[in-house]
Amino acid sequence: MNYFEYITDPHRQCAIIAHRGIWNEAPENSLLSIRRAIEAGYDVVEIDVRRTADGEFVLLHDDTLERMASIDKKPEELTLKELISLPLRNRDGGPNSPFTEEKLPSLRDVFELTHDKIFIHLDIKHRHAIPEVLACAQKMGVEKQVDFWADLKTEHDLAWIKANITVHDVPFIARTHLEHDDWRGQARLALELKPLICEASFRNLSQVDAMKQ
């Protein structure tokens, strides 16, 4: 599998992305939700990645474990062993969702599950962790299946992205904000970087029209 070749193929169909996996009958960001995305034939699965207290990585969207595991702690406060023993609440969690047999997954387990099966959009919650996650992907042989995503708002962002991501020839999604006053500067940075994909956030279509002009 090769993410670059897939995205740049002019004959491919529109890519369908499973956001946190298919979690209508499984916990979000769980191995089961990802497995179901693979079985359903989705092109890409989006997952959220956070660091553990001992420097490993797990899947979790929120700052704390409260919504998905009913524990008022940050994943950065617990070890990998402690985290992967936690049962997850079903679907998008919360007190009204029952606990399941699914446990909080490690990123390594996800890479093992997805190897040569689906592309992976990595939402890494702290940008400084991207080089370590990339190294893990390379070690496990999935580096051609993943993309990395980060803000591109300043010259500092541009320099960091070039030094830590695009230098490794991996797909990168630049996130720009058309609703910000400095959107022209952000657009200029995106044109300079020429990322594989550019995500533009906006509040109304007039902001998109302004960019066209």
| Positions marked catalytic | 19, 61
Type of residue found at 195: P
Q: How many CB atoms lie within 10 A of CB 99?
A: 15
The values of phi and psi at residue 103, to 5°, are -105, 160
Yes or no: say if 123 and 151 are a contact pair by the CB < 8 Å rule.
no
Yes or no: say if 146 and 7 are a contact pair by the CB < 8 Å rule.
no
CA neighbours closer than 13 Å in the CB half-sphere of residue 65:
24
Question: CA 1, CA 150: separation in Å to the nearest integer?
Answer: 23
